[in-house]
Amino acid sequence: MADRVPFVDLRPDASLAAELEAAAARVVRSGRYVLGPEVEAFEREIGGFVGARHAIGVSSGTDALIVSLLALGVGPGDEVVVPAFGFVATPEAVVRVGARPVFVDVDPASYHLDVARAAAALTSRTKAILVVHLFGRCVELAALSRLAASHRVALVEDAAQAIGARLHGTQAGALADVGAFSFFPTKTLGGLGDGGLVTTNDDGIAQAARSLRVHGSTQRDEFGRIGGNFRLDELQAALLRVKLRRLPETLAERRSIARGYAVALAAAPLDLPRLSDDDTYNPYVVRVRGDRDALRARLAAAGIETAIYYPRSLTQQPAFAPWRVPTPEADRAAREVLALPLRADAPARIAAVLGRG
Ligand SMILES: *Cc1c(COP(=O)(O)O)cnc(C)c1O
């Protein structure tokens, strides 16, 4: 039997490993370990890549969402509109700041929050619309931006899966009032641990986020608001700077594998994700027409690992029971989606298994 195809393999190649080790050694010998020159350089470099005036390194993607919402002044009594399909951290952040998540069902083609349903979900208590650029594809924001502006609510991007994704020439994280990124190892720009980033073009939001990151510090020995410890450390920033330099190559490779899948699986009973050089396929998710779990088992028997993002809609999660509403499209997505390995050898291997009937 041919080699196993793992869903992901995060081990760096030899040249990347050497660069990462050199960066780590530099920090070890520097005596600066939290919020120092590596973090500052990383913020400058990634802010330039994203095209946002401000980039604020934080401890994780989840914390980037919490800091973003706090910086916007979202709190108890407020409502935040969120999609019903995606990762738990998005609505979790809303609850963590004391606000109420208002779940909106998703568009079946993009899995993004449905614009008409989002419009219908707005109330006088709505403080923000939190969109998720799910699976590395930017949410079409034109109508949502107009909606947010006309209702005077903030528009927030959960860009945790979308570094390098674009919408009409603008990068994810520079499309709305504030953006939140994650550097969890499996993301397109993955660290060797946890990390996150807040991006914004708004000076006031940036200032609030910088303050919130260090316990609400407003000046030396003065704490003007309640924040937390949401700091990024020097080691992670130094490692991320190495990974950031390779990001253009990483993105090109991801898009090339997606093109490989489009050719290899053209005749398969699957709905493939849109093919676009604006998208980053983090992860590469298809919709299975037919028995998803049987297909998954066949691939596993052939040594090909797959994953399910996500096996439950957010409204099906027990933690969100207090805010549950019917979301049939999100529930159906949870039954039908399957993530395939984003590896160059995977499209042909999967096509061969499917071709055997
Ligand atoms: C990964 C992820 C997060 C959370 O990021 P962490 O760094 O793991 O805290 C939030 N939202 C989405 C959509 C994600 O994929």
Ligand 1 atom, smallest distance to 184 CA: 7
Q: What is residue 131's predicted lDDT score, i.e. its pLDDT?
A: 98
Angle among Cα 247, 142, 279 to the nearest 5 degrees reads 25
Q: Compute, in angstroms, the gap from residue 281 CA to the centroid of ligand 1.
A: 15
Angle among Cα 135, 272, 247 to the nearest 5 degrees reads 40
Query: For a substitution probing ligand 1, which of 59, 161, 186, 282 has the most ligand atoms within 8 Å of its CB?
Result: 161
Q: What is residue 240's predicted lDDT score, i.e. its pLDDT?
A: 98
Residue nearest atom 5 in ligand 1 by C-alpha distance: 61
Q: What is the CATH number of the domain that holds 335?
A: 3.90.1150.10
Any ligand 1 atom below 6 A from CB of 135: no
Residues 32 and 149 in one domain: yes
Residues of the chain predicted below pLDDT 70: 1-2, 357
Contact 32, 234 (CB under 8 A): yes
Residues 172 and 149 in one domain: yes
Q: What is residue 2's predicted lDDT score, i.e. its pLDDT?
A: 67
Q: Structure pTM?
A: 0.98
Residue type for position 266: A
Q: What is residue 63's predicted lDDT score, i.e. its pLDDT?
A: 98
Ligand 1 atom, smallest distance to 60 CA: 7
Owning domain of residue 320: 247-355
Distance, CA of 165 to CA of 273 (rounded, Å) = 14
**Cα 21 to Cα 27, 101, 198, 239, 283, distances in angstroms:** 10, 42, 27, 8, 27
Residues 196 and 271 in one domain: no
Residues 325 and 194 in one domain: no
The answer to whether position 262 is within a domain reads yes
Q: What is residue 355's predicted lDDT score, i.e. its pLDDT?
A: 87
Q: Compute, in angstroms, the gap from residue 355 CA to the centroid of ligand 1.
A: 35
Any ligand 1 atom below 6 A from CB of 89: yes
Which residues does residue 180 pair with via DSSP β-bridges, in sequence order? 158, 198
Q: What is residue 292's predicted lDDT score, i.e. its pLDDT?
A: 97
Residues 222 and 314 in one domain: no
Distance, CA of 244 to CA of 50 (rounded, Å) = 11
Q: What is residue 356's predicted lDDT score, i.e. its pLDDT?
A: 78
The answer to whether position 9 is within a domain reads no
In this predicted model, what pLDDT tens digit does every residue of 122-149 receive, in sequence order?
999 999 999 999 999 999 999 999 999 9
Which residues does residue 106 pair with via DSSP β-bridges, in sequence order? 113
Helix-then-strand count for the chain, H and E: 12, 14
| Backbone region of residue 108 per phi and psi (left: phi > 0; alpha: psi in -120 to 50; beta: other values) | alpha
Any ligand 1 atom below 6 A from CB of 132: yes
Contact 126, 145 (CB under 8 A): no
Residues 241 and 252 in one domain: no
Q: What is residue 1's predicted lDDT score, i.e. its pLDDT?
A: 55
